[in-house]
Structure 1
Amino acid sequence: MSHQQPSSIAPRKHAYSAPSVKQLTLLHQGEVLAQRYQRYFQASVASTEHDLRSIFQLRHRVYCEEFQFEPSNALQLERDQYDSYSHFCRVQHLNSGLDAGCLRLVNPNSQQSLPLLDACSSAITDRKLHPDNFAKEDICEVSRVALDGLFRRRRIDQQYGARPSGVGLDRFSDKELRTFPYISISLYLAASIIAEHSGIKHAYVMVEPKLARSLSLFGIKMTRIGPDIDYHGIRAAYHITIERFQSYLPLLYQPLFELIKQNVQASMGLLTQASTNPNNYPATLLPCLCRAK
């Protein structure tokens, strides 16, 4: 696989006309971060049957084999009915070609539902921000977020017996390892770009409260809309608008956002050219084709 060459990532335009020294410093640091990320990873929208198969295989490794949230199957592909009306994005490790992470945006029509409403009907107690208050085409749920175990572990973990199966961490340089924490944020940045492109205004997610706090450090400040629910561990429902997500993104991560936007938009162009099911995904890998907008 060919390597991307680092390029200058143009920062987003800001309201202020004369950036302060601190702002310029943050933008420079963000540029360095984006260029480092670009050397090792690429975020994109799934646009081929191969892309989807890789995502479903990754989900099987994480959800079925590692955490055993879902039953394993002979095909080693983790799928469900929501995949037929979802958008998918992935982050690929360029040096190895491995999928480091993936997620999906479930975008229902008037006859379809969100996974969190079907699985945890009591998860949302904030009636004002309940999905029922908005048009179905304006909402989505970010779900099936999966990071390959290899890219969730640090080199120090190997010293204590937490070595994942397959490829070892020793194949990664220290510079690569320092980019691993940005795999998750890049997935969420890609999701916001897909949502904006699709006209989606409201996003919901069911996550561990500690993960929500961690995401807030990256500027993803979600509103908690329900109590703790015991669903594959303690989780809670959160809401965020796409406008708020992108408007409050810290300066440090805006060059990374612009880089990912370039890659995602390019892969969405490939997706538009595909001749497949109504969501432009290969029908052979999706369990049903019930989307009818």
Structure 2
Amino acid sequence: MDRLAAMQAFVRVVEAGSFSAVARSLGSTQSAVSKQVASLEAHLGMKLLSRTTRALSLTDEGQAYFETCARVVQELEDAEMALRAGEGEVLGRLRVGASVGFGRQVLFALVRDFMAKHPALQVDLQLNDGFVDVVSEGLDVAVRIGELVDSSMLAQRVGTTQRAVVASRALAAQLATEQRLPTQPADLVQHNCIVYTGLATRNHWVFDATANHPAVTVAVQGRMASNSSEVVREAVLASLGLGFSPTWLFGPELRSGEVVRLLPHYSPHPLPIHAVYSPSRRHSAKVAIFIQHIRQGLMNLP
């Protein structure tokens, strides 16, 4: 038995709450991970986990052993990182989570550059537009846009997403011809708006106060709604309505004029970007270096 590998598997199973999630993160099988933990229990001569069809839980002995194991595994990973620090090399496997649109439009380029700097590192980039539990999915870090809900996770702010009211060039031209271009946020209630449901604010479009305008929130309506920013993007490009979207979602189109910004004298409320991770990763060197990398990269986010 490779005792260190078994200890690492045990720690990951406890953090994720399932053998299958750990197997996915390691590119292994559920039975292989289960055998590693069983071998560790046999070596120690005690049960570490209570297994039922619905859940896993630590025994009293398992709880005490887990606390020591988690510390040892983390210290070993950090020791390896320290040995490579002179070369700036990051080792191992990093599992990163993000939404599909942000992952494809922004984060992938940052991950690509990070991998180029650290050729000994493997990255598993998991994209999902629904809520993803960092621990149960075995993620080292998740990059999230919007206000965070209360949780047991740790978070560092790494950037800001600017937003704008946008329309395709064709739709904006049509509204101008009809003299229906919105001139203030309140006008938006008269328009077909594309609603992004991936945020708690949903159809409430929020504008911050400026020197010339008070803060205002407008409840918009429309025929199209989606929890995917990429669907919202395609809907705007197809002239299905007005969007209230991150400016990075339409970077090339805004520059070319294919998409135009409406209400330019108003200030759509920006969204924070956070790196979220488990407390067990607080001392992980690869997580810390990755967070530093994306924070620097997001400084120039449009």
- TM-score of the superposition, structure 1-length normalised? 0.22
- TM-score of the superposition, structure 2-length normalised? 0.21
Higher-RCO chain (CA-CA 8 Å, sequence separation at least 6): 1
